[in-house]
């Protein structure tokens, strides 16, 4: 199996690129955001809890997120690999994922990060918010709070994966096709 963490700040294009890579390499795409939105839409207990954090622009607590992702991974035991999109977001989540995958005889083969300037991302998210209906994409202060969360809690994962020799940063600015080509060049090496 080839298991990849697709990484980057909110609005960097992780979901779009994950969908393209999923098709190209016949992998499963697990998006924490999609899992959360499904649970919120269906008003599950977990979804209602997650919504309180998301609406405030905060990250959902690790324990809730980890348990949801474990269930999702277990649904795809026969996959060629998994693209994790939006997970892990903290070092404790990365460590829990490593333990979980090791127990299954698997590992993370690499973290590929889309690198994009924050001001450009704020513009992208506000535009996306006009059509997505996502409450966290319509308010610049909530968006800036998400970047603060990302920079203080999530960006440390670069160091975590770099220490394992599994971190690959790429330029996340350009056309969708240009970015996909950059991702595939890294993906084919790991």
Q: Is 146 part of the annotated catalytic residue set?
A: yes
Instruction: Judge contact between 144 and 9, C-beta under 8 A.
Output: no
Q: With the C-alpha atoms ordered 31, 37, 38, 40, is the resulting torsion angle positive or negative?
A: positive
What are 145's two structure tokens? Answer: 């709070």
* Catalytic pick among 14, 51, 142, 182: 14
- Cβ neighbours of residue 147 under 8 Å, at least 6 residues apart? 9, 10, 118, 121, 122
Q: Is 89 part of the annotated catalytic residue set?
A: yes
Q: Is 14 part of the annotated catalytic residue set?
A: yes
* Catalytic pick among 2, 22, 128, 153: 128
* Catalytic pick among 51, 89, 142, 182: 89
* Catalytic pick among 51, 142, 146, 182: 146
Q: With the C-alpha atoms ordered 39, 160, 180, 4, is the resulting torsion angle positive or negative?
A: negative
Q: What is the largest CA-CA distance in the chain?
A: 43
* Catalytic pick among 24, 41, 70, 134: 134
Provide the CA 31 distance to its chain's centre, in angstroms. 6
Give catalytic residues, as residue numbers: 14, 89, 128, 134, 146
């Amino acid at each position: 199996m080839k298991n990849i963490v697709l990484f980057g700040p909110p609005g960097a294009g992780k979901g779009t690129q994950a969908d393209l890579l999923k098709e190209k390499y016949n992998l499963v795409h697990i998006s924490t955001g999609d899992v959360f939105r499904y649970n919120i839409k269906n008003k599950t207990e977990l979804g209602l809890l997650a919504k309180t954090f998301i609406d405030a622009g905060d990250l959902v607590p690790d324990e809730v997120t980890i348990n949801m992702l474990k269930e999702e991974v277990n649904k795809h035991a026969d996959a060629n690999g998994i693209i994790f999109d939006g997970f892990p977001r903290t070092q404790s989540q990365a460590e829990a994922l490593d333990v979980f995958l090791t127990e299954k005889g698997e590992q993370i083969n690499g973290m590929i990060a889309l690198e994009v300037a924050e001001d450009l991302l704020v513009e992208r998210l506000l535009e996306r918010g006009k059509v997505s209906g996502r409450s966290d994409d319509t308010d610049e202060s909530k968006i800036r709070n998400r970047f603060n969360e990302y920079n203080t809690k999530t960006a440390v994962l670069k160091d975590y994966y770099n220490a394992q020799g599994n971190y690959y940063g790429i330029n996340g600015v350009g056309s969708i096709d240009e970015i996909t080509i950059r991702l595939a060049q890294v993906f084919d090496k790991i």
